Amino acid sequence: MLNDADFQKLETTPQYLLFLSALLHDIAKPACTFEENGRITSPKHAAIGEKMVRELLWNADFEAREIVAALVRLHGLPIWSLDKYQPHRAVIASSLRVPNDWLYLLAKADALGRDCADKEELLLRIELFKELCLENQCFTEEKTFHNNHSCFKFFQSETENYPSMIFDDTSFEVIILAGIAGSGKDSLYKKQFKDYPSVSLDTIRETHKIKPTDKDAQGKVVQIAYEQAKEFCRKKQSFVWNSTNLTTELRSKLIRSLSVYNPYFKIFYVETPLSKIFTRRQNDIPADVLHRMIRQLDLPLRIEAHEVHYVRNGFV
């Protein structure tokens, strides 16, 4: 990568981030690699690598950290983009996380650094990825949309072939808080959303005397929370959903369930230094549970909601 002419034209900061991404892009391979039917494979090493990078660089500059995490997660996309069900959707989505031309440079360096029989095919695929990005106006810049509602509808619909202009007819908000336990979600709610009613899973647990560690009872907690949320939606009343919401799957399920009411979704991801998380929750959540939360975390992405905001508190 250091010898690539396009890399050499970049400013110092992009070079640094790409260098770090190249260093870490296969960080999860030792944990993921095994032999199957005589073939060495490393399934999910990019997805797991993203989480490892995020934990490793937790206290670093947030924007820089997330660019590196995104490059690690997506470094295989240029090779596999044309095999996706909707290739244009994949490259448009990636452009909202990281510049696709940086991703192109990383993937090309990765291919050139290999000793393999299919190197030319890999390089051809990477060039086709570049052409796909250029065709969709998202190679050197992120894809633009008519408005946030058009963007949200494009990524929520599997049948939407190309971003279209959709009128924003939403009339109320669903604020979704997300973050590791102890990150400060309750403080953010009191500071910024105190006039909004809330659906709080912690409050439901306290009301029904259910411990967070009681796995068998969590289904009841979620069911009550969904009933409360739908009641607000039927009234077209803005409200806050206050829970950890750590995974894409959990957030997507909630958003799909409430989308029929046509609200405007905002996700506020809250983050604080890991040392503060363990100190704040040491009396009610075991350390191993907190560690598991950290490794489960899928950072909320812009494709998930109308707006996604990142709130960091307690960092120097």
Q: SS3 sequence, 86-118?
A: CHHHHHHHHHCCCCHHHHHHHHHHHHHCCCCCC
Q: Token digits for 107?
A: 């993937």
Residue 224 above 80 pLDDT? Answer: yes
- What pLDDT, on a 0 to 100 scale, did the predictor assign at position 59? 92
- What pLDDT, on a 0 to 100 scale, did the predictor assign at position 163? 80
How many Å apart are CA 76 and CA 82, to the nearest integer? 12
Sequence ranges of the chain with CATH classification 3.40.50.300: 173-312
pLDDT tens digit string along 106-162?
999 999 999 999 999 999 999 999 999 999 999 999 999 999 999 999 999 877 667
More confident residue, 165 or 239: 239
48 CA to centre of own chain = 13
32 CA to centre of own chain = 21
Q: How many residues does the chain have?
A: 316
- What pLDDT, on a 0 to 100 scale, did the predictor assign at position 303? 97
Q: Are strands 239-242 and 198-200 parallel, antiparallel or unpaired?
A: parallel
How many Å apart are CA 241 and CA 230, to the nearest integer? 11
- What residue spans of 113-195 are helical by DSSP H? 119-135, 148-156, 185-192
282: Cβ contacts below 8 Å, ≥ 6 apart: none
Q: Token digits for 114?
A: 């290999």
Residue 212 above 90 pLDDT? Answer: no
Confidence of residue 272 (pLDDT cuts 50, 70, 90): very high
- What pLDDT, on a 0 to 100 scale, did the predictor assign at position 160? 65
pLDDT tens digit string along 43-102?
999 999 999 999 999 999 999 999 999 999 999 999 999 999 899 999 999 999 999 999
Q: At what angle do helices 12-24 and 100-112 cross, to 10 degrees?
A: 50
Q: What is the mean pLDDT of residues 243-247?
A: 95
CA atoms within 13 A on the CB side of 201: 20
CB contact at 8 A, 269 and 309: yes
For the domain 173-312, what is the CATH code?
3.40.50.300
Render the burial of 85-108: b for 16+ CB within 10 Å, e for the rest: eebbbbbbbbbbbbbbbbbbbbbb
Confidence of residue 311 (pLDDT cuts 50, 70, 90): very high
- What pLDDT, on a 0 to 100 scale, did the predictor assign at position 316? 62
Residue 314 above 90 pLDDT? Answer: no
175: Cβ contacts below 8 Å, ≥ 6 apart: 193, 196, 238, 239, 240, 241, 266, 268
- What pLDDT, on a 0 to 100 scale, did the predictor assign at position 164? 84
- Ranking 14-18, 30-34, 212-216, 268-272 by mean pLDDT, the lowest is 212-216
- What pLDDT, on a 0 to 100 scale, did the predictor assign at position 158? 77
Confidence of residue 105 (pLDDT cuts 50, 70, 90): very high
- What pLDDT, on a 0 to 100 scale, did the predictor assign at position 284? 82
- What pLDDT, on a 0 to 100 scale, did the predictor assign at position 215? 78
